[in-house]
Chains A and B, each alone.
Chain A
Protein backbone atom coordinates (compact mmCIF):
# COMPACT_ATOMS: atom_id res chain seq x y z
CA UNK A 1 0.00 0.00 0.00
CA UNK A 2 1.40 3.41 -0.94
CA UNK A 3 0.94 6.63 0.95
CA UNK A 4 1.25 10.26 -0.11
CA UNK A 5 3.24 12.39 2.29
CA UNK A 6 4.52 15.95 2.24
CA UNK A 7 8.27 15.88 2.70
CA UNK A 8 11.54 17.44 1.60
CA UNK A 9 13.91 15.79 -0.85
CA UNK A 10 16.25 15.11 2.05
CA UNK A 11 13.50 13.34 3.97
CA UNK A 12 12.56 11.43 0.83
CA UNK A 13 16.14 10.12 0.57
CA UNK A 14 16.14 9.26 4.29
CA UNK A 15 12.78 7.50 3.90
CA UNK A 16 14.25 5.39 1.10
CA UNK A 17 17.16 4.55 3.41
CA UNK A 18 14.71 3.59 6.14
CA UNK A 19 12.95 1.13 3.83
CA UNK A 20 16.28 -0.18 2.55
CA UNK A 21 17.33 -0.69 6.19
CA UNK A 22 21.07 -0.86 5.41
CA UNK A 23 23.34 -2.81 7.75
CA UNK A 24 25.68 0.15 8.13
CA UNK A 25 25.40 3.91 7.60
CA UNK A 26 28.50 6.00 8.24
CA UNK A 27 28.14 9.70 7.61
CA UNK A 28 29.33 13.15 8.54
CA UNK A 29 27.00 16.13 8.31
CA UNK A 30 27.51 18.81 5.68
CA UNK A 31 25.06 21.40 4.37
CA UNK A 32 22.77 20.70 2.51
CA UNK A 33 23.07 16.93 3.04
CA UNK A 34 22.61 17.26 6.83
CA UNK A 35 18.84 16.65 6.94
CA UNK A 36 19.26 13.32 5.11
CA UNK A 37 21.45 11.91 7.85
CA UNK A 38 19.62 13.81 10.61
CA UNK A 39 16.31 12.26 9.60
CA UNK A 40 17.89 8.85 9.20
CA UNK A 41 19.51 9.03 12.64
CA UNK A 42 16.02 9.66 14.05
CA UNK A 43 14.90 6.39 12.46
CA UNK A 44 17.88 4.68 14.09
CA UNK A 45 17.11 6.27 17.45
CA UNK A 46 13.44 5.31 17.23
CA UNK A 47 14.34 1.71 16.41
CA UNK A 48 12.69 1.86 12.98
CA UNK A 49 15.80 0.36 11.37
CA UNK A 50 18.43 -2.16 12.50
CA UNK A 51 21.23 -0.10 11.02
CA UNK A 52 24.56 0.29 12.76
CA UNK A 53 24.99 4.06 12.53
CA UNK A 54 28.64 5.09 12.68
CA UNK A 55 29.18 8.74 13.50
CA UNK A 56 32.61 9.45 12.07
CA UNK A 57 34.90 12.48 12.29
CA UNK A 58 35.08 13.29 8.57
CA UNK A 59 33.82 12.27 5.16
CA UNK A 60 37.11 10.52 4.47
CA UNK A 61 36.30 8.33 7.46
CA UNK A 62 32.65 8.00 6.42
CA UNK A 63 33.58 6.46 3.10
CA UNK A 64 36.35 4.42 4.73
CA UNK A 65 33.86 2.94 7.20
CA UNK A 66 31.47 2.16 4.33
CA UNK A 67 34.30 0.46 2.41
CA UNK A 68 35.12 -1.69 5.45
CA UNK A 69 31.49 -2.55 6.06
CA UNK A 70 30.78 -3.32 2.42
CA UNK A 71 33.92 -5.46 2.12
CA UNK A 72 32.76 -7.38 5.19
CA UNK A 73 29.56 -8.17 3.31
CA UNK A 74 27.23 -5.50 4.69
CA UNK A 75 24.86 -3.24 2.77
CA UNK A 76 26.45 0.15 3.45
CA UNK A 77 25.21 3.65 2.67
CA UNK A 78 26.24 7.23 3.21
CA UNK A 79 25.38 10.74 2.05
CA UNK A 80 27.41 13.84 1.38
CA UNK A 81 27.76 17.08 -0.58
CA UNK A 82 30.36 19.45 -1.98
CA UNK A 83 33.46 19.69 0.23
CA UNK A 84 32.44 16.43 1.89
CA UNK A 85 32.65 14.58 -1.42
CA UNK A 86 35.92 16.37 -2.13
CA UNK A 87 37.36 15.25 1.20
CA UNK A 88 36.34 11.61 0.75
CA UNK A 89 37.66 11.59 -2.85
CA UNK A 90 40.51 9.14 -2.26
CA UNK A 91 38.20 6.55 -0.71
CA UNK A 92 35.44 7.15 -3.30
CA UNK A 93 37.86 5.59 -5.79
CA UNK A 94 38.70 2.80 -3.35
CA UNK A 95 35.00 1.86 -3.17
CA UNK A 96 34.64 1.51 -6.94
CA UNK A 97 38.11 0.04 -7.50
CA UNK A 98 37.34 -2.61 -4.88
CA UNK A 99 33.92 -3.16 -6.50
CA UNK A 100 31.90 -2.41 -3.38
CA UNK A 101 28.23 -1.56 -4.05
CA UNK A 102 27.91 1.33 -1.62
CA UNK A 103 25.05 3.75 -2.31
CA UNK A 104 25.56 7.42 -1.53
CA UNK A 105 23.10 10.27 -1.71
CA UNK A 106 24.81 13.40 -2.99
CA UNK A 107 22.94 16.61 -2.29
CA UNK A 108 24.53 18.74 -4.97
CA UNK A 109 26.30 21.87 -3.78
CA UNK A 110 28.93 24.17 -5.25
CA UNK A 111 32.61 23.57 -4.50
CA UNK A 112 34.83 26.06 -2.68
CA UNK A 113 36.32 28.61 -3.30
CA UNK A 114 34.61 31.02 -2.93
CA UNK A 115 32.81 29.10 -0.22
CA UNK A 116 29.16 28.64 -1.14
CA UNK A 117 26.50 26.34 0.28
CA UNK A 118 24.03 26.46 -2.61
CA UNK A 119 23.28 24.19 -5.52
CA UNK A 120 25.35 23.40 -8.52
CA UNK A 121 26.65 20.10 -9.83
CA UNK A 122 30.41 20.67 -9.59
CA UNK A 123 30.75 18.16 -6.75
CA UNK A 124 29.32 15.03 -8.37
CA UNK A 125 30.25 16.06 -11.93
CA UNK A 126 33.84 16.28 -10.76
CA UNK A 127 33.51 12.67 -9.61
CA UNK A 128 32.11 11.44 -12.93
CA UNK A 129 35.25 9.48 -13.82
CA UNK A 130 35.56 7.68 -10.47
CA UNK A 131 33.65 4.61 -11.70
CA UNK A 132 30.48 5.26 -9.71
CA UNK A 133 27.06 4.89 -11.29
CA UNK A 134 25.42 8.33 -11.25
CA UNK A 135 21.66 8.95 -11.15
CA UNK A 136 20.31 12.51 -11.03
CA UNK A 137 16.90 13.21 -9.52
CA UNK A 138 14.51 15.90 -10.70
CA UNK A 139 12.49 16.03 -7.50
CA UNK A 140 11.95 14.43 -4.10
CA UNK A 141 9.97 11.54 -5.62
CA UNK A 142 12.84 10.64 -7.94
CA UNK A 143 15.41 11.00 -5.16
CA UNK A 144 13.36 8.49 -3.15
CA UNK A 145 12.90 6.00 -5.99
CA UNK A 146 16.41 6.37 -7.43
CA UNK A 147 17.90 5.58 -4.01
CA UNK A 148 15.98 2.31 -3.84
CA UNK A 149 16.77 1.42 -7.45
CA UNK A 150 20.46 2.26 -6.99
CA UNK A 151 20.89 -0.32 -4.21
CA UNK A 152 19.61 -3.18 -6.35
CA UNK A 153 21.53 -1.99 -9.41
CA UNK A 154 24.80 -1.55 -7.52
CA UNK A 155 24.57 -4.97 -5.87
CA UNK A 156 23.73 -6.88 -9.06
CA UNK A 157 26.34 -9.66 -9.52
CA UNK A 158 27.27 -8.36 -12.97
CA UNK A 159 27.64 -4.79 -11.77
CA UNK A 160 29.14 -4.66 -8.25
CA UNK A 161 29.83 -0.94 -8.48
CA UNK A 162 28.94 1.86 -6.07
CA UNK A 163 26.25 4.37 -7.02
CA UNK A 164 25.62 8.05 -6.35
CA UNK A 165 22.08 9.38 -6.27
CA UNK A 166 22.03 13.14 -6.69
CA UNK A 167 19.41 15.72 -5.89
CA UNK A 168 19.69 19.51 -6.01
CA UNK A 169 20.87 21.12 -2.77
CA UNK A 170 18.17 23.23 -1.06
CA UNK A 171 15.99 23.38 -4.19
CA UNK A 172 15.05 19.72 -3.82
CA UNK A 173 16.62 18.77 -0.49
CA UNK A 174 14.87 21.49 1.53
CA UNK A 175 11.75 22.07 -0.56
CA UNK A 176 8.59 20.26 0.59
CA UNK A 177 6.78 18.24 -2.06
CA UNK A 178 4.22 15.47 -2.17
CA UNK A 179 6.00 12.14 -2.20
CA UNK A 180 4.33 8.79 -2.73
CA UNK A 181 5.94 6.32 -0.35
CA UNK A 182 5.45 2.69 -1.34
CA UNK A 183 4.90 -0.23 0.99
CA UNK A 184 8.02 -1.06 2.98
CA UNK A 185 7.26 -4.77 2.61
CA UNK A 186 7.24 -4.48 -1.17
CA UNK A 187 10.49 -2.48 -1.20
CA UNK A 188 12.13 -5.01 1.11
CA UNK A 189 10.97 -7.85 -1.11
CA UNK A 190 12.19 -6.01 -4.20
CA UNK A 191 15.66 -5.52 -2.69
CA UNK A 192 16.10 -8.74 -0.72
CA UNK A 193 19.30 -9.13 1.25
CA UNK A 194 22.68 -8.26 -0.17
CA UNK A 195 24.39 -11.38 -1.48
CA UNK A 196 28.05 -10.46 -1.82
CA UNK A 197 30.16 -12.54 -4.22
CA UNK A 198 32.87 -12.64 -1.57
CA UNK A 199 32.90 -11.16 1.92
CA UNK A 200 35.70 -10.56 4.37
CA UNK A 201 33.66 -11.98 7.23
CA UNK A 202 33.11 -15.28 5.42
CA UNK A 203 35.68 -17.30 7.38
CA UNK A 204 35.05 -20.42 5.31
CA UNK A 205 36.18 -18.66 2.15
CA UNK A 206 38.92 -16.22 3.16
CA UNK A 207 39.88 -13.47 0.72
CA UNK A 208 42.11 -10.41 0.64
CA UNK A 209 40.54 -7.19 -0.57
CA UNK A 210 42.35 -4.05 -1.62
CA UNK A 211 45.86 -5.46 -2.15
CA UNK A 212 48.64 -3.86 -4.17
CA UNK A 213 48.49 -4.24 -7.94
CA UNK A 214 51.30 -2.81 -10.01
CA UNK A 215 52.15 -2.80 -13.71
CA UNK A 216 51.25 -6.48 -13.94
CA UNK A 217 47.53 -6.46 -12.97
CA UNK A 218 46.18 -2.95 -12.20
CA UNK A 219 45.28 -2.36 -15.86
CA UNK A 220 43.20 -5.57 -16.01
CA UNK A 221 41.28 -4.53 -12.88
CA UNK A 222 40.43 -1.17 -14.48
CA UNK A 223 39.24 -2.91 -17.65
CA UNK A 224 36.89 -5.01 -15.50
CA UNK A 225 35.43 -1.80 -14.05
CA UNK A 226 34.61 -0.45 -17.48
CA UNK A 227 32.99 -3.76 -18.44
CA UNK A 228 30.87 -3.62 -15.28
CA UNK A 229 29.81 -0.06 -16.13
CA UNK A 230 28.75 -1.22 -19.60
CA UNK A 231 26.74 -4.05 -18.08
CA UNK A 232 25.10 -1.61 -15.67
CA UNK A 233 23.11 -0.16 -18.60
CA UNK A 234 20.97 -3.24 -19.17
CA UNK A 235 20.79 -4.07 -15.46
CA UNK A 236 19.48 -0.54 -14.82
CA UNK A 237 16.71 -1.02 -17.40
CA UNK A 238 15.80 -4.47 -16.04
CA UNK A 239 15.87 -3.31 -12.42
CA UNK A 240 13.79 -0.28 -13.36
CA UNK A 241 11.16 -2.50 -14.97
CA UNK A 242 10.99 -4.55 -11.79
CA UNK A 243 10.65 -1.45 -9.59
CA UNK A 244 8.03 -0.14 -11.98
CA UNK A 245 5.76 -3.00 -10.92
CA UNK A 246 5.61 -1.38 -7.48
CA UNK A 247 5.66 2.30 -8.43
CA UNK A 248 4.06 2.38 -11.87
CA UNK A 249 6.79 4.81 -12.96
CA UNK A 250 9.27 4.49 -15.82
CA UNK A 251 13.02 4.34 -15.30
CA UNK A 252 14.69 5.19 -18.57
CA UNK A 253 18.22 6.48 -19.03
CA UNK A 254 16.51 9.69 -20.06
CA UNK A 255 13.07 11.21 -19.88
CA UNK A 256 11.61 12.72 -23.02
CA UNK A 257 9.09 15.52 -22.59
CA UNK A 258 7.20 16.74 -25.64
CA UNK A 259 10.09 15.39 -27.65
CA UNK A 260 8.38 13.55 -30.53
CA UNK A 261 7.05 16.67 -32.19
CA UNK A 262 9.91 18.91 -31.06
CA UNK A 263 12.56 20.32 -33.38
CA UNK A 264 14.17 22.51 -30.74
CA UNK A 265 15.26 20.81 -27.55
CA UNK A 266 16.75 21.60 -24.17
CA UNK A 267 18.89 18.93 -22.53
CA UNK A 268 19.44 19.19 -18.78
CA UNK A 269 19.37 17.27 -15.51
CA UNK A 270 17.85 17.46 -12.03
CA UNK A 271 15.43 20.12 -10.78
CA UNK A 272 15.84 22.47 -13.74
CA UNK A 273 14.21 19.80 -15.90
CA UNK A 274 11.03 20.54 -13.95
CA UNK A 275 11.32 24.24 -14.75
CA UNK A 276 11.80 23.41 -18.43
CA UNK A 277 8.66 21.23 -18.42
CA UNK A 278 6.67 24.08 -16.94
CA UNK A 279 7.94 26.48 -19.62
CA UNK A 280 7.11 23.98 -22.38
CA UNK A 281 3.54 23.74 -21.03
CA UNK A 282 3.18 27.52 -20.94
CA UNK A 283 4.75 28.23 -24.33
CA UNK A 284 2.45 25.62 -25.83
CA UNK A 285 4.59 25.18 -28.94
CA UNK A 286 4.80 21.62 -30.36
CA UNK A 287 8.22 22.43 -31.77
CA UNK A 288 9.92 22.61 -28.36
CA UNK A 289 10.81 19.76 -26.04
CA UNK A 290 13.01 18.49 -23.24
CA UNK A 291 15.47 15.63 -22.92
CA UNK A 292 16.23 15.03 -19.25
CA UNK A 293 19.28 12.90 -18.49
CA UNK A 294 18.55 10.62 -15.52
CA UNK A 295 21.61 8.40 -15.70
CA UNK A 296 24.89 10.21 -16.28
CA UNK A 297 27.22 7.27 -15.58
CA UNK A 298 27.22 5.09 -17.54
CA UNK A 299 26.24 7.71 -20.14
CA UNK A 300 23.40 6.71 -22.49
CA UNK A 301 25.12 7.67 -25.78
CA UNK A 302 22.90 5.56 -28.05
CA UNK A 303 19.61 6.81 -26.63
CA UNK A 304 20.74 10.45 -26.65
CA UNK A 305 21.89 10.16 -30.27
CA UNK A 306 18.70 8.41 -31.34
CA UNK A 307 16.47 11.00 -29.67
CA UNK A 308 18.37 14.08 -30.84
CA UNK A 309 19.82 13.27 -34.28
CA UNK A 310 16.81 14.51 -36.26
CA UNK A 311 16.32 17.72 -34.26
CA UNK A 312 17.16 21.17 -35.65
CA UNK A 313 18.85 22.74 -32.64
CA UNK A 314 19.62 21.64 -29.12
CA UNK A 315 20.62 23.70 -26.09
CA UNK A 316 22.50 21.84 -23.35
CA UNK A 317 22.18 23.38 -19.91
CA UNK A 318 24.98 22.50 -17.51
CA UNK A 319 24.91 23.46 -13.85
CA UNK A 320 28.68 22.97 -13.61
CA UNK A 321 31.75 24.11 -15.49
CA UNK A 322 34.64 22.31 -17.03
CA UNK A 323 37.04 25.20 -17.13
CA UNK A 324 38.78 25.47 -20.47
CA UNK A 325 36.79 22.55 -21.86
CA UNK A 326 33.26 21.51 -22.79
CA UNK A 327 30.85 21.41 -19.84
CA UNK A 328 30.09 17.83 -18.69
CA UNK A 329 26.63 17.25 -20.20
CA UNK A 330 27.33 19.30 -23.32
CA UNK A 331 30.52 17.33 -23.96
CA UNK A 332 28.72 14.00 -23.65
CA UNK A 333 25.81 15.05 -25.88
CA UNK A 334 28.27 16.24 -28.51
CA UNK A 335 30.13 12.91 -28.24
CA UNK A 336 26.89 10.99 -28.53
CA UNK A 337 26.04 12.72 -31.81
CA UNK A 338 29.40 12.14 -33.51
CA UNK A 339 28.30 8.83 -35.02
CA UNK A 340 24.68 9.85 -35.54
CA UNK A 341 23.17 10.01 -39.03
CA UNK A 342 22.67 13.75 -38.78
CA UNK A 343 23.61 16.49 -36.34
CA UNK A 344 21.45 19.18 -34.83
CA UNK A 345 23.09 22.51 -34.08
CA UNK A 346 24.29 22.55 -30.47
CA UNK A 347 24.54 25.39 -27.99
CA UNK A 348 26.22 25.04 -24.60
CA UNK A 349 24.80 27.04 -21.71
CA UNK A 350 26.22 27.28 -18.18
CA UNK A 351 23.72 28.28 -15.52
CA UNK A 352 23.01 28.36 -11.83
CA UNK A 353 26.54 28.13 -10.44
CA UNK A 354 26.64 28.65 -6.68
CA UNK A 355 22.86 28.45 -6.52
CA UNK A 356 22.13 31.37 -8.87
CA UNK A 357 18.40 31.07 -9.55
CA UNK A 358 17.22 29.99 -12.97
CA UNK A 359 13.83 31.46 -13.84
CA UNK A 360 11.20 30.37 -16.30
CA UNK A 361 11.99 33.56 -18.22
CA UNK A 362 15.59 32.36 -18.64
CA UNK A 363 14.42 29.04 -20.06
CA UNK A 364 11.97 30.85 -22.33
CA UNK A 365 14.85 32.97 -23.65
CA UNK A 366 16.84 29.81 -24.40
CA UNK A 367 13.89 28.39 -26.36
CA UNK A 368 13.43 31.72 -28.21
CA UNK A 369 17.12 31.66 -29.24
CA UNK A 370 16.80 28.03 -30.32
CA UNK A 371 13.72 28.79 -32.41
CA UNK A 372 15.72 31.48 -34.22
CA UNK A 373 18.63 29.02 -34.50
CA UNK A 374 20.75 31.63 -32.81
CA UNK A 375 23.73 29.37 -32.04
CA UNK A 376 27.40 30.11 -31.52
CA UNK A 377 30.41 27.88 -31.09
CA UNK A 378 31.14 28.93 -27.52
CA UNK A 379 29.61 28.64 -24.07
CA UNK A 380 26.87 31.01 -23.07
CA UNK A 381 26.26 31.94 -19.46
CA UNK A 382 22.69 32.45 -18.26
CA UNK A 383 22.45 35.52 -16.07
CA UNK A 384 26.14 36.18 -15.49
CA UNK A 385 26.94 39.91 -15.27
CA UNK A 386 29.62 41.48 -17.45
Chain B
Protein backbone atom coordinates (compact mmCIF):
# COMPACT_ATOMS: atom_id res chain seq x y z
CA UNK B 1 0.00 0.00 0.00
CA UNK B 2 1.43 3.37 -0.92
CA UNK B 3 1.85 6.14 1.67
CA UNK B 4 -0.95 8.22 0.15
CA UNK B 5 -3.48 5.36 0.50
CA UNK B 6 -2.88 4.96 4.23
CA UNK B 7 -5.40 6.61 6.50
CA UNK B 8 -4.64 9.26 9.10
CA UNK B 9 -5.25 9.04 12.84
CA UNK B 10 -8.49 11.00 12.53
CA UNK B 11 -9.91 8.48 10.08
CA UNK B 12 -9.12 5.13 11.70
CA UNK B 13 -11.08 3.50 14.54
CA UNK B 14 -9.62 3.95 18.02
CA UNK B 15 -7.40 1.41 19.74
CA UNK B 16 -6.37 -0.33 16.53
CA UNK B 17 -9.84 -1.78 16.24
CA UNK B 18 -10.86 -3.47 12.97
CA UNK B 19 -14.50 -2.77 12.22
CA UNK B 20 -14.89 -5.02 9.20
CA UNK B 21 -15.08 -8.81 9.16
CA UNK B 22 -12.76 -10.83 6.91
CA UNK B 23 -10.35 -7.95 6.36
CA UNK B 24 -7.29 -10.20 6.71
CA UNK B 25 -7.79 -11.13 3.04
CA UNK B 26 -6.76 -7.55 2.23
CA UNK B 27 -3.52 -7.85 4.16
CA UNK B 28 -0.95 -9.05 1.62
CA UNK B 29 1.56 -11.05 3.60
CA UNK B 30 3.47 -12.33 0.56
CA UNK B 31 6.36 -9.92 1.04
CA UNK B 32 7.21 -11.46 4.41
CA UNK B 33 8.81 -14.52 2.86
CA UNK B 34 12.48 -15.17 2.41
CA UNK B 35 11.91 -18.65 0.88
CA UNK B 36 9.60 -19.21 -2.05
CA UNK B 37 7.94 -22.56 -2.89
CA UNK B 38 8.89 -23.59 -6.41
CA UNK B 39 6.31 -26.10 -7.66
CA UNK B 40 7.31 -28.69 -10.25
CA UNK B 41 3.92 -29.02 -11.93
CA UNK B 42 4.78 -32.12 -13.99
CA UNK B 43 5.84 -34.11 -10.93
CA UNK B 44 2.69 -33.16 -8.91
CA UNK B 45 0.16 -35.95 -8.30
CA UNK B 46 -2.54 -33.53 -7.04
CA UNK B 47 -2.99 -35.45 -3.83
CA UNK B 48 -4.34 -32.27 -2.15
CA UNK B 49 -2.23 -32.69 0.94
CA UNK B 50 -0.44 -29.34 0.54
CA UNK B 51 -3.62 -27.21 0.21
CA UNK B 52 -4.96 -28.89 3.34
CA UNK B 53 -1.82 -28.10 5.33
CA UNK B 54 -1.22 -24.57 4.03
CA UNK B 55 -1.81 -22.28 7.04
CA UNK B 56 -2.55 -19.32 4.77
CA UNK B 57 -4.97 -21.26 2.56
CA UNK B 58 -3.11 -19.76 -0.38
CA UNK B 59 -2.84 -22.85 -2.62
CA UNK B 60 -5.90 -22.67 -4.88
CA UNK B 61 -7.68 -25.80 -6.15
CA UNK B 62 -9.86 -26.31 -9.22
CA UNK B 63 -11.51 -29.42 -10.65
CA UNK B 64 -9.47 -31.80 -8.51
CA UNK B 65 -6.18 -30.10 -9.36
CA UNK B 66 -4.03 -27.84 -7.28
CA UNK B 67 -3.00 -24.58 -8.97
CA UNK B 68 -0.04 -22.26 -8.52
CA UNK B 69 0.46 -20.76 -5.06
CA UNK B 70 -0.94 -17.26 -4.46
CA UNK B 71 2.34 -15.45 -3.87
CA UNK B 72 0.58 -12.30 -2.59
CA UNK B 73 -0.36 -14.32 0.46
CA UNK B 74 2.30 -17.07 0.78
CA UNK B 75 4.62 -16.32 3.72
CA UNK B 76 7.11 -18.96 2.64
CA UNK B 77 6.70 -21.20 5.66
CA UNK B 78 7.66 -24.35 3.72
CA UNK B 79 5.00 -26.63 5.14
CA UNK B 80 3.80 -27.52 1.61
CA UNK B 81 7.30 -28.68 0.64
CA UNK B 82 7.60 -30.61 3.89
CA UNK B 83 4.33 -32.56 3.50
CA UNK B 84 4.56 -33.24 -0.26
CA UNK B 85 4.80 -37.02 -0.72
CA UNK B 86 6.50 -36.76 -4.15
CA UNK B 87 8.77 -33.86 -3.26
CA UNK B 88 7.61 -31.66 -6.13
CA UNK B 89 7.91 -28.43 -4.10
CA UNK B 90 11.30 -26.92 -3.34
CA UNK B 91 11.83 -23.92 -1.09
CA UNK B 92 14.24 -21.53 -2.81
CA UNK B 93 15.79 -18.51 -1.20
CA UNK B 94 14.66 -15.52 -3.21
CA UNK B 95 14.84 -12.66 -0.78
CA UNK B 96 11.49 -11.04 -0.42
CA UNK B 97 10.59 -11.46 -4.06
CA UNK B 98 6.93 -12.11 -4.51
CA UNK B 99 7.37 -13.52 -8.00
Assess whether A234 is interfacial by the CB under 8 Å rule: no
Interface of B is mostly: loop
Across the interface, which residues of A come within 8 angstroms of B8, CB to CB?
Answer: 220
Across the interface, which residues of A come within 8 angstroms of B6, CB to CB?
Answer: 216-217
Assess whether A160 is interfacial by the CB under 8 Å rule: yes
- Among the stretches A38-46, A138-146, A205-213, A360-368, the one at the interface with B is A205-213
Q: Give A206 to B6 CA distance when docked, in angstroms.
A: 23
Query: How many residues does chain A have at the interface if contact means C-beta atoms less than 8 Å apart?
Result: 24
Assess whether B21 is interfacial by the CB under 8 Å rule: yes
A220 engages B18 (CB within 8 Å): no
What total count of A-B pairs have CB within 8 Å?
55
Q: Give A197 to B17 CA distance when docked, in angstroms.
A: 11
Assess whether B4 is interfacial by the CB under 8 Å rule: no
Assess whether A372 is interfacial by the CB under 8 Å rule: no
Across the interface, which residues of B come within 8 angstroms of A100, CB to CB?
Answer: 15
Can you name the residue of chain A whose Cβ is closest to the Cβ of B23?
A208
Q: Within residues 1 to 51 of chain B, which ones have a CB less than 8 A from any CB in chain A?
A: 1, 6-9, 12-19, 21, 23
Known: A216-B1, A216-B6, A217-B6. A207 touches B12 (CB 8 A): no
Q: Within residues 150 to 185 of chain A, which ones have a CB less than 8 A from any CB in chain B?
A: 160
Across the interface, which residues of B come within 8 angstroms of A160, CB to CB?
Answer: 14-15
- New contact pairs (20) apart from A98-B15, A197-B14, A221-B9, CB-CB < 8 Å: A97-B16, A99-B14, A99-B15, A160-B14, A160-B15, A206-B21, A207-B17, A207-B18, A207-B19, A208-B18, A210-B16, A211-B17, A216-B1, A217-B12, A217-B16, A218-B16, A220-B7, A220-B12, A224-B14, A224-B15
A211 engages B19 (CB within 8 Å): no
Q: How far is the CB of A303 from chain B (nearest CB, A)?
A: 27
